[in-house]
Amino acid sequence: MNDISAKEKLERQQLNQFIALYPDFPKGKIVRNESPDFIVKTSRKSAIGIEITRLMPHYFLSEQQHMQIGLPKFERLKSATLIDLILMKEAKLPLYFANHLKQVWLLIVIVPSPSGRKIILPSNMSDWQIKSKFDKIFLLNAEKNHLECLIC
């Protein structure tokens, strides 16, 4: 299997997990796309774009160095990290809207690093003031099967 099809398969699995966890997911035909990753055609004249991006812990040390100096196997998510990721994806919004979409949603999927480091969510995350040009932003912890709506 080549990298492109492996990536597409993973994104489809993540979308399916999102659909299962989000009760208000719109009904419609889901079409694989590139920018954004999926388009949900809700009617003849209405569609929602869904862009999927991954959030992985920063890892600057090798696994061996990590274990030798006893660093924790987790990294607490910081609002600045999340905002930087959102801003990076917002730069592509004109490209997404070129598909004549009514809305564009961002699905951020938390994944562990290759060294096994994980991101943990802070308890005060609901207090974060996140603003974006995306219509909705979701944070999916795929490993824990947990979905947070950051902008709904």
Task: Give the residue among 60, 61, 8, 17 at the shortest CA–CA distance from 37.
Answer: 8
Q: What is the mean pLDDT of the chain?
A: 85
Unique residue bearing structure tokens 């951020």: 108
Task: Give the residue among 59, 84, 89, 85 at the shortest CA–CA distance from 74.
Answer: 59
Instruction: Check whether 102 has a pLDDT greater than 80.
Output: yes
Average pLDDT over residues 50-71: 64
CA angle 42, 43, 44 (to 5 degrees): 140
Q: Which pair of tokens denotes residue 31?
A: 């079409």
What is the predicted pLDDT for the residue at 4? 65
| Total-model pTM | 0.84
What is the predicted pLDDT for the residue at 60? 38
CA angle 115, 82, 108 (to 5 degrees): 70
**What distances in angstroms separate CA 74 from CA 4, 19, 69, 70, 103, one per listed residue?**
29, 27, 14, 12, 34
Average pLDDT over residues 121-142: 85
State the pLDDT confidence band at 79, using cuts at 50, 70 and 90. Answer: confident
Q: Which pair of tokens denotes residue 20?
A: 């299962």
Phi first, then psi: give them for residue 29, nearest 5 degrees. -85, 130
